Amino acid sequence: MAGRWDCGWPPSCCRYRDGELAEWLRDELSRRPGWQWEPLSAEDDAGLEAYRSFVAWEGHNDIPADAVENDYPLGKWVASVRRRRVLGTLAPVLALLLVAAAPIDRHYLRRFAWHPQSTWWAINLDAARQYISRTQTLLGMPDGHCELLEGRPIAVSQWMSRMRHQHKRGLLSDEQIAELQALPGWQWTAAPIAERVEPGSPEACSNFPCPRRARCRGLCGACYEEQRTAQLAAGTWTSSYVDAAPVREHVIKLKERGIGRRRLAALAGVNDKASATLLNARSARSSGPRGKVLVTTAAKRWAVEIPDAPHHGSVADRTPVPAETSRVQLRAVVETLGGSRAEAYRRCGISVATGTSVLTGRSQQVTAATARRIERAYTAYCGAGTQ
Ligand SMILES: [Zn+2]
């Protein structure tokens, strides 16, 4: 054992161990309440021995995190010692022994690097991970939340907002940014109070328990951006928008065939104004017609077929169409039935006045409804197709 405790300034318990403590001092110390001759746990004893062995061989005490000395995980032990130090649970004697066993540096001092900053970083990261192990995500962590780590409350919510702030000022390293981003539910901007709603409620972001209001595809802005970035990286991203040009062409053709903007809006169940901005430049924004349209509304407009004749398809009943076809068909019906014209008009379901004006050519236009009635009769009595 001799030599093991020969630190520069050995505490009493070391001298006691080595049998070098004066008898009177031993008795005096033993009488003190709570005095311990073996203040270290077996684990710390082993750690300290490995530490001393490392220092003896390497000549320094800058111990790497993955250091192993004589099969003992020294790096891990040192990390746990640093942790206990910043949490205030390290036995003072162990701190003393670590410094005492350090080599003398060029300033003739013995030092031990406690690395409080990186230790706090690791502790807070662990606290965040412990929270995630229960909730799966950091989303929905209440403000001011503390996580109990090694019996000590760690103000992890406060730390998170501090890290966001430091990130904004460019004070975080790339590794730190990567470590934070790897935490499930990490967000670089905290949800503003005004934007928060009850998590899981209908107006909330569908990424439960995110407390923000849903904005796009059922997600809040931050979650949507996150999903979009991930899907873009994975190559599975599909935009909700498509090129407007073919849709615009379709709408123009429908208009030429008698299905106007308002009729289209009613048929397709789309916004009439949206069709206007699809067709025309927007003077208010001094921009051209829209370059992109939502894929859902594009599909709805596309579903409205272009009629093959002016009065076919979805053309509204009161839309005027050229009377030429109707005149030919009505004449054929009258000739086939052979009776009075009034009877033919009745069979067609049109008034005498309408029938007469169509037949005599007084009307250049009829309504789509009249054209359809005449065509129905023509198909029924003349047994022919539409032409
Ligand atoms: Zn969200």
Tell me the pLDDT tens digit for each residue of 132-167.
999 988 988 888 899 999 889 999 999 999 999 999
To the nearest whole number, what is the mean pLDDT of the chain?
85
Q: In the chain, which ranges are E strands?
A: 147-149, 152-154, 241-243, 292-294, 320-322, 365-367
Distance from residue 223's CA to the centre of ligand 1 (Å): 4
What is the number of other CB atoms lying within 10 angstroms of the CB of residue 135? 13
Predicted pLDDT at 52: 92
Distance from residue 186's CA to the centre of ligand 1 (Å): 11
Among 269, 385, 260, which residue's Cα sits nearest to residue 319?
A: 260
Under DSSP, the state recorded for 235 is T
Distance from residue 165's CA to the centre of ligand 1 (Å): 20
Distance from residue 128's CA to the centre of ligand 1 (Å): 18
Distance from residue 88's CA to the centre of ligand 1 (Å): 37
Asked if residue 199 lies in contact with residue 209, where contact means CB atoms within 8 angstroms, the answer is yes
Letter for the amino acid at 259? Answer: I
Distance from residue 106's CA to the centre of ligand 1 (Å): 55
Distance from residue 193's CA to the centre of ligand 1 (Å): 14
Structure tokens at 116: 């409080």
Instruction: Report helix angle 74-87 to 116-135, nearest 10.
Output: 90
pLDDT confidence tier of residue 298, bands split at 50, 70 and 90 = confident
Distance from residue 183's CA to the centre of ligand 1 (Å): 15
What is the number of other CB atoms lying within 10 angstroms of the CB of residue 380? 12
Distance from residue 227's CA to the centre of ligand 1 (Å): 10
Predicted pLDDT at 12: 67
Letter for the amino acid at 115? Answer: H
- The whole-angstrom separation of Cα 219 and Cα 211 is 11
Asked if residue 273 lies in contact with residue 283, where contact means CB atoms within 8 angstroms, the answer is no
- The whole-angstrom separation of Cα 382 and Cα 387 is 11
Distance from residue 172's CA to the centre of ligand 1 (Å): 24
Distance from residue 294's CA to the centre of ligand 1 (Å): 22
Distance from residue 387's CA to the centre of ligand 1 (Å): 60
pLDDT beyond 70 at 285: no
Structure tokens at 36: 């311990």
The CA-to-CA distance between both ends of the chain, in Å, stands at 116
- The whole-angstrom separation of Cα 252 and Cα 279 is 8
Tell me the pLDDT tens digit for each residue of 207-255.
888 888 888 888 888 888 888 888 889 888 888 888 888 888 888 888 8
Q: Percentage of the chain with pLDDT > 70?
A: 92
What mean pLDDT is predicted for residues 360-386? 83
- The whole-angstrom separation of Cα 254 and Cα 239 is 26
Asked if residue 51 lies in contact with residue 75, where contact means CB atoms within 8 angstroms, the answer is no
Tell me the pLDDT tens digit for each residue of 117-130.
999 999 999 999 99
- The whole-angstrom separation of Cα 275 and Cα 297 is 10
pLDDT beyond 60 at 175: yes
Distance from residue 196's CA to the centre of ligand 1 (Å): 10
Residue 201 DSSP SS3: coil
pLDDT beyond 70 at 297: yes
pLDDT confidence tier of residue 289, bands split at 50, 70 and 90 = confident
Residue 104 DSSP SS3: strand
Distance from residue 211's CA to the centre of ligand 1 (Å): 7
Distance from residue 13's CA to the centre of ligand 1 (Å): 57
